[in-house]
Structure 1
Amino acid sequence: MSQVTTHVLDAAFGTPAVGVAVELDRKGRDGWSEVASGATDGDGRIGALGPDRLEGGVYRLVFATGDYFQATHRPAFYPEVQVSFLVTGADHYHVPLLLSPFAYSTYRGS
C-alpha cells in the first residue's frame, strides 16, 4: 500500500463514487508538481497513489468532481475539489472525500 490513499463516497446517492480522477501534487518552490494520479475503483477507492515513501512537505489531492458529476448527468457547483495536507513522516495518509453536487467534506482517515 502506498503512503497516500483516498476513498470518495457520493453522499447524495449513498454509494461509492466510481471513476473519479484524482491527482496527487507536491508543493515546491516553483509551485505544484504532479507526483501521481489515478481514478477511483468500483468501491470508490484508490489504494495506491504515489510512491511508498514521500518526502515531508505540503501535498494536495485534486479530485475531478465536475467530470464525475457530468458523467452521472447531474449539475454540480464544484468543478474540482482540492485538499491540501502536510506530510511529516512515514505515516499512512488516508484522505477520504464525502461528495455531493453542492457540498463536500473531508477528514484524515485511518
Structure 2
Amino acid sequence: MSLSTHVLDAAHGRPAPGVSVRLTTMGGDHLVTAVTDDDGRIRELAAELAAGNYRITFDTAAYFAATGQQGFYPEVAVTFTVTDAGQHHHVPLLLSPFAYSTYRGS
C-alpha cells in the first residue's frame, strides 16, 4: 500500500506548492511530515500502511500566509480508513481561503 496526496489552490486555479503535510495514526503517533512539490504533490507520503485509520493534516495557515491570502482554516485534517493494505491510496485536497474539499483519488 502506498499513499500520495495533491493540493490544488482552487482560488487561483493552480497547484499549491510548499504545503506542509503531516501523517499520523488516530492515536496521534507521528508517522511522517513532507512538503508538496512545485506541482502541489507528494508522490509517496507513505510506502507502507497497515489497515486502520489515519489522519493527514495540511498546514494551510502557512500556505495562505506565503501566498498573501487570508484564510479561514489554519489547517485541514482528513481522516481516512485503509481497508486493503495492498491498494494505493490518494487523498487530494482542493483548497481555497474559505472552503475545501477532498475525495479518494486514484
**What is the TM-score of this pair, normalised by structure 2?**
0.95
**Cα deviation per residue 1:10-42 (whole Å; 9 max; x = unaligned)?**
000000001000001112xxx211111100000
Q: 2:39 maps to what in 1?
A: 43
Rounded to whole Å, the distance in 1 between the matches of 2:45 and 2:30 is 11
- Superposed displacement of residue 53, structure 1: 1.8
Q: 2:93 maps to what in 1?
A: 97
Q: 2:15 maps to what in 1?
A: 16
* Structure 1 segments (4+ residues) deviating >6 Å: none
Aligned-pair identity (%): 56
Rounded to whole Å, the distance in 2 between the matches of 1:36 and 1:95 is 15
Paired residue for 2:103, among 103, 107, 110?
Answer: 107
Q: 1:81 maps to what in 2?
A: 76
- Superposed displacement of residue 56, structure 1: 1.1
Paired residue for 2:50, among 50, 55, 65?
Answer: 55
Rounded to whole Å, the distance in 2 between the matches of 1:53 and 1:82 is 20
Which letter maps to 1:109?
A: G
- Secondary structure of 1:67's counterpart equals helix
- Superposed displacement of residue 49, structure 1: 0.7
**Cα deviation per residue 1:27-77 (whole Å; 9 max; x = unaligned)?**
2xxx21111110000000000112x22111100110000110001111000
Structural RMSD (CA): 1.0
Name stretches of at least 5 consecutive residues in structure 2 with no aligned partner: none
Which letter maps to 1:16?
A: P
Paired residue for 2:64, among 63, 69, 93?
Answer: 69
**Cα deviation per residue 1:67-91 (whole Å; 9 max; x = unaligned)?**
1000111100000000000011221
Name stretches of at least 5 consecutive residues in structure 1 with no aligned partner: none
Rounded to whole Å, the distance in 2 between the matches of 1:83 and 1:68 is 17
Q: 1:3 maps to what in 2?
A: 2
